[in-house]
Structure 1
Amino acid sequence: MIRNKTEERKKRLSTKTLDQAFRKEVEEGLNCSPIESKALLDIVKEVYMPYLHDNQAIHPGQMVVMGINIDEPPGKPLEKCKFKPIVITKYDGESDDNIRLENGYIGVTALRRAQLKRITEEAKDQGVLLTAEDLAYKIFNCGYRTICRDLKHFRSKGITIPVRSQQKDIGRAITHRVKAVELYIQRKLPTQIAQEIRHSLNSIKNYINKFARVASLTREGHSVSEIAFIVQISPNLVRKYQGLYEKFNTPEYSERIEEIIAQFKPKKGGQENRRVKP
């Protein structure tokens, strides 16, 4: 038999790797088979390797945090959600310094809000939606209410911050949407509603649009899951809007409900009338 020195060399070199050393320890210490040791090695790499990259992977001012995978649905128990590590930029050098110095006595607040916006966008780009708790306790080490005030500030400016509650219709994000639609049914103007709940005018119009579509599709007999897919909102928000529709589908408000739904009846060609009337 002719020896293949190249293959022999490859085999010798492969036995000197950290992977092989780990597998050898596992096989001897836990009495695992080679297949089991390989599977265990793959799991360890998936979970821990993001923390073990060389120093070039994380730059000064950056940090690694764990967050909930963007594909996880609302309402799923936290312990059953899939988490993943991401790299965020907490301090961006001169850019952050300038924000703080140029904003005088509100420099600290202005800087935190700029960082919050940057960090949540970085997280979303990496497939994670952070929560207000993540931001308060893991990243900024500040009060939970401080982060809530920051998020409210952005909403009042019409700026969308991609946190989990906003993207997945959770908690206060749903409460505000339902409140906006309820006020509109009660004949408050969109501008008045925007001022009252501190959301942008475009956001208010969007909430009303989606409510009208939910009400119309509910009348047509579509299921909650079908409506959620068509309107592109969570099933939870669909149910909240349906509850609102049932609450106001009374002689006193039936005409108003009809007006709202009529605004979104498809025109010829399938286009919806998206104009929000007072």
Structure 2
Amino acid sequence: MPIALQAGLWGLLSGSALVIGAVIGWFVPLGRRVIAAIMAFGAGVLISALSFELIDEAWKQGGFLPVAGGFLGGALVYTGANWLLAHRGARHRKRSVPEKREKQAANNPENGAALALGALLDGIPESIVIGVSLLAGKGIGLVAVIAVFLSNIPEGLSSAAGMKHEGKKAGHVFGMWALIALASGIAATIGYLAFDGVPPAGVASVMAVAAGAILAMIVDTMVPEAFEGTHDFAGLIAVSGFLAAFALSRLA
């Protein structure tokens, strides 16, 4: 099987967790604290993955300067795009709290496109990382795939629960997440094809850009939901997720 196709399938697999989470959030009446706890755990998993699977590996390939430039650049690009989408109705796309979602919908009643673009913005860096991880010829970075998969479940879960409170139709919600899961597969394929043959320093920069964007996404969109639902326990749950991903990376 062509490696580019493998990258796409791995990206699709990780993106499918969004659909799984959306199904759970739509049909299973989970309390706000449970949703927030899952979000906190997913945030910890992602932080561990970007620390040991992305930044550490990027530093080994390219050194400090490409990593520092890419890391700050990724955070800057994500923050700018997120700011634009937030002012078009996608600020609380990962929130399950009805009051915040209702206020957002009232201010931006036609926010469907912004929500979809926001979810796509959150998923693209993660998917590109999956494709880039195949460039070294050592096979897929399973820890990165598992981390993205685990973090996507609470994203789909929380957002779908919030959309249900907004009165969105099930077909609209599941269709949106299915398309984003498909886009995740495409982004992973592009991540492999676009950077195949690029020098190690260039690959390191790409990995650092993705890591910076992911960390900015975690703080901007996942941490608020996690903290508001679990309060003083958010840090402990996030540490548990970090430790689980760290143990998985070392065992792998």
TM-score interval for Structure 1 and Structure 2 normalised by the shorter chain: under 0.3
- Larger Rg: 1 or 2? 1
TM-score normalised per structure 1: 0.20
Q: Per chain length, whose mean CA-contact separation is higher, i.e. which structure has more relative contact order (CA < 8 Å, sep 6+)?
A: 2
More strand by share: 1
More helix by share: 2
